[in-house]
Amino acid sequence: MARPIFRSMPPMEVQIIGETPRLKFAAGALFYEERVQDNAQAPNTMQWNAAGTAATVLSLNYDTVTIDRASHVATDSYGAYAQATYTPDIAGDIVHVTGGLRYSNDKKVGQLFTINGATPVSVSGVFAPLNLNTSWARVDPMFNLALDVPRDVHFY
């Protein structure tokens, strides 16, 4: 059984979407912030007989069950994106060229302070919460060339 997860996360996004006779576009920016803390319990609720052929559901007091995992994490993310599809005035408007770009920047800071009911042990043998401090940024491009074909043509 899991204890309540405490979370706050107010995302924000702004978009610009538009269209002209030959160009469709969308652009925007976003910000996401999340603060999470959880305590998870995973007790064994079944007891098997000695032969392993039958099981009984145990009655448990979850207030006395050990917390198996506990952590807290703060996440901050922001990004920007743009995408446009251009339809050139050729071949009866059956050609569409789409390009886009997305930039994202993410940062996570937190700790895992309980594993299997105990304080974690590091690879060097130290008993202490395990820190999660990481960040990354990336750019994801996109390009697509589309061709409208008649319904009775199979195109792939």
What distances in angstroms separate CA 118 from CA 7, 25, 93, 110, one per listed residue?
23, 53, 65, 17
9-66 per-position pLDDT tens digit? 677 999 999 999 999 999 999 999 988 888 888 888 888 999 989 999 988 888 888 8
pTM of the model as a whole: 0.65
Q: Is the pLDDT of residue 2 over 70?
A: no
Angle formed at CA 108 by CA 77 and CA 76, multiple of 5 degrees: 25
Alpha carbons 72 and 133: distance in angstroms, whole number: 12
The residues, any chain, with a CB within 8 Å of residue 62's CB and separated by 6 or more, are 1, 41, 43
Q: Which tokens hold the place of 142?
A: 């996109």
